[in-house]
Structure 1
Amino acid sequence: MKIGFAQYTSAEIRKETRFLIDLSNDMEEYFIKKTYGNDLIEIIIGIICVSPSFEAFFKPGKPKYIKEKKGIKSEFTKQEYDIEKCLTYDIKLDFETFKNSSEVEAKRYLELEILKSLEIIEAMKTKMKDFDLMKFKRDLEDYFKEKDMQ
């Protein structure tokens, strides 16, 4: 399973969100050798946490599931790559809560929001019939416990 974050954050909280890159890389390494079925092999979670003045520009999009192999060209790097059996969705974090939290509190807040976001996968289970959500959720909870985020 591949898992990663796409980060959309305001400059005012750049320092508070630095841990997101390390967390994304660490989660990717933790989950890379795990499998949960054949219908979902990659999850990309957009983490949106922007100041109120930017909220209008960063609304959570609808979840997207791409089952068949599809070529994508990066808007930023212009590189082309293939994706398949990939789910992308966004979670929106409260800016003030995040801004006023310590790093430990911010990590716990993020953890809870990620675990809550699994409802999105549950709601899309008709498209991803061969995916063991319960096992994935247990592994995700274990990961957070292991990293002492709970």
Structure 2
Amino acid sequence: MKLSNMQHIYKKTKFHPLNNIFFYTFTDQTNKHMKISINCPILSVEFGKTTKYDDIHELNSKMETFFHNKLYLDKVEEYSVGLICVSPGFDEFFKPRRPKYYEDKILKAKGLPGPEEIHLKHHLFFELKLDYATFFPSNKEEGYNIIAQSFLKFLEELKYPSAIKNFDKKRFNNDMREFFVQMGCIL
């Protein structure tokens, strides 16, 4: 990689008072990127008879690939989306939580399979609710369209937590729109 194509940051790390010299550290930022994922969608039991889980997994893989080399703020290294789509009888039990940003937090998950501690660093999480009446009977392409339209509408209205107010929302939203267009979605 050519040096001219590299992003780099110089940080003042030490000041030598006798010589009035600042010492700088060089950090190569070319390997920094944001990981985006659709985490464990919450779907009603009847979705088990459909291909929705596979469709969402495929969409997630393509989204991860598309956003692999993109970064919108150093403080956001992971961007997780939780999809919720439950039948009307369970709707009241599955309300989307407000967006949450974890700068550096260890969550304890005792009694669950897997690690007992989960370390979240520079992690943004939000949940998005899909309309059951339209999403459940949809085919793969229609389902992607529903996710795309819901996702983009949500992003336009999203107020990011104050800790990450400098997140490049406009560029991220444009990239997300471009991703869904490349997927063939009708926006």
Name the TM-score, length of structure 2 as normaliser.
0.71
Aligned AA for 1:13?
F
Percent identity over paired residues: 32
Q: Which has the higher contact order (CA 8 A, sep 6+)?
A: 1
User: How far does the alpha carbon of each residue in 1:40-88 deviate from its partner, in whole angstroms, 9 at most, with x for none?
Assistant: 2221111000111222321111221112x22235574332342122111
5+ unaligned residues in a row in structure 2: which ranges?
1-33
| More strand, by proportion | 2
Which of 17, 20, 38 does residue 5 from structure 1 map onto? Answer: 38
Find runs of 4+ consecutive structure 1 residues off by over 4 angstroms.
Answer: 73-76
In the TM superposition, 1:60-139 aligns within 5 A as 60-67=96-103, 69-73=104-108, 76-79=112-115, 80-119=117-156, 121=158, 123-124=159-160, 126-139=162-175
Aligned alpha-carbon RMSD (Å): 1.9
Contact 1:39 1:129 in 2 (8 A): no
Contact 2:100 2:161 in 1 (8 A): no
Aligned AA for 2:71?
T
SS at the partner of 1:100?
A: coil
SS at the partner of 1:127?
A: helix
Q: Larger C-alpha radius of gyration, 1 or 2?
A: 2
Aligned residues: 148
Aligned AA for 1:2?
K
- Residue 125 (structure 1) shift: 5.4
Partner of 2:15: none
Partner of 2:17: none
| More helix, by proportion | 1
